[in-house]
């Protein structure tokens, strides 16, 4: 019984800390370099439906419309996320936003730059969760940094490259 009270106390303290300290907005930016050409990297990331073949965290993707470009990703854990492309400039800029879940205001930007024979990518995700309840849940169960790390690792492997997390530059706010 004493152990249960200790565990409940720790969980309560963690949730209280998150309610008080968890910022409403998070921003994660990652920079990486690939030896693959900018055109090939662009082709890989912009093939929305094809991402199911190389992203290990995605079960399926259903494209709902082409104009505007809207799709739903279903994660391996069963979580549905609906996205919409806001802007693209081939082959170096893609901006999208999350439409659902509605409690989440999120935006992802991918910038590709030619770097010699290869490509420098800059991926940035900003997440704003206005509701204190959902904010706490998001901090406990949604690690933006980890999600982007998995994406970069999967992209590296899909491009036939070796992933080295030490070569990824990460900025978090």
DSSP state of 37: -
- pLDDT of 2 > 80? The answer is no
| pLDDT tens digits for range 37-64 | 999 999 999 999 999 999 999 999 999 9
What is the reported pLDDT for 161? Answer: 96
Q: How far apart are CA 99 and CA 94, in angstroms?
A: 16
**Distance set, CA 56 to CA 36, 50, 149 (Å):** 21, 12, 12
Q: How far apart are CA 47 and CA 54, in angstroms?
A: 11
Q: How far apart are CA 43 and CA 126, in angstroms?
A: 24
Q: Based on the number of CB atoms within 10 Å of its own CB, is 129 exposed (0-12), middle (13-18) or buried (19 or more)?
A: buried
| pLDDT tens digits for range 4-13 | 878 776 766 6
| pLDDT tens digits for range 111-166 | 999 999 999 999 999 998 887 777 777 766 678 889 999 999 999 999 999 998 88
Q: Which residue has the tokens 């992933």?
A: 163
Domains of the chain in start order, with CATH, are 24-172 (3.30.530.20)
| pLDDT tens digits for range 89-100 | 999 999 999 999
- pTM passes above 0.75: yes
For the record, the structure tokens of 159 come out as 């491009």
Q: How far apart are CA 79 and CA 50, in angstroms?
A: 19
What is the reported pLDDT for 173? Answer: 82
Q: How far apart are CA 115 and CA 117, in angstroms?
A: 6
pLDDT band, very low/low/confident/very high, at 17 (cuts 50, 70, 90): low
Mean pLDDT of 71-91: 96
């Amino acid at each position: 019984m004493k152990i249960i009270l200790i565990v409940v106390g720790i969980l309560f303290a963690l949730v209280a800390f998150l309610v008080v300290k968890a910022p409403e907005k998070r921003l994660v930016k990652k920079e990486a370099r690939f030896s693959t050409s900018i055109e090939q990297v662009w082709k890989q990331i912009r093939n929305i439906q094809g991402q199911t073949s190389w992203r290990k965290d995605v079960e399926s993707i259903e494209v709902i419309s082409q104009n505007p470009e809207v799709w739903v990703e279903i994660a391996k854990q069963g979580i549905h996320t609906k996205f919409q492309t806001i802007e693209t400039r081939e082959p170096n800029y893609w901006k999208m936003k999350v439409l659902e879940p509605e409690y989440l205001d999120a935006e992802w930007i991918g910038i590709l730059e030619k770097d010699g024979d290869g490509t420098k990518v800059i991926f940035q995700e900003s997440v704003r969760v206005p509701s204190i309840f959902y904010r706490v849940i998001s901090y406990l169960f949604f690690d933006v940094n980890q999600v982007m790390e998995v994406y970069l690792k999967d992209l590296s492997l899909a491009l036939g490259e070796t992933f080295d997390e030490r070569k990824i530059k990460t900025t978090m706010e």
